[in-house]
Each structure stands twice: as structure tokens, then as C-alpha cells.
Amino acid sequence: MHTEDPWLAKGGSYEYRLISMPPYFSHGEARRIVADQAEYGRWELARSAIYWGGQKRVWLRRKVLRVESTL
């Protein structure tokens, strides 16, 4: 069963940011980076992955807000 995001159904869109972290970053450091982005940049976690060798990648997303003219 596929559930569609209501934001996308109404014509909204997201912008994405990919953050790559080297293997020597601890899980705590990675968590702090993602938390800072979420708190100050209004990003939310879309996906995360840990690769062989320990490299970490995090995909963040946030809504693109379009302002319509009221004139």
C-alpha cells in the first residue's frame, strides 16, 4: 500500500541536501550535525546510510515554500 505525501499531492515540493561524513566521525558527531541542520536550517531527515568502511551519508529535505503575490 502506497501512501502519498499530502504536501506533494497539493503541488508542493522538497529540496534535498546530501551530507557525507568520513568513517572517523562517531555516531554522536553525526547525530549532532543532523540535529543542528534540523534545528537551525529547518531540514528533516529523509534517509541515512552507513557504507562498508564506515562512511555515513545522510539525505535531508525541507519544504520549498512559494510565496504567491496578493496584488
Q: Where are the domains of the chain?
A: 13-63
CATH number of the structural domain 13-63: 3.30.1490
What is the predicted pLDDT for the residue at 47?
A: 93
Q: What pLDDT, on the 0 to 100 scale, is given for residue 1?
A: 45
pLDDT in tens, 39-71: 998 899 999 999 999 999 999 999 887 777 777
What is the grid cell recorded at 26? 562517531
Q: Strand 44-50: give its sheet, edge to edge.
A: 13-21, 56-64, 44-50
Percentage of residues in the chain having pLDDT higher than 90: 58
Supply the mean pLDDT for the chain.
86
Q: CA 24, CA 61: separation in Å to the nearest integer? A: 25
Residue 28 has pLDDT above 70, yes or no: yes
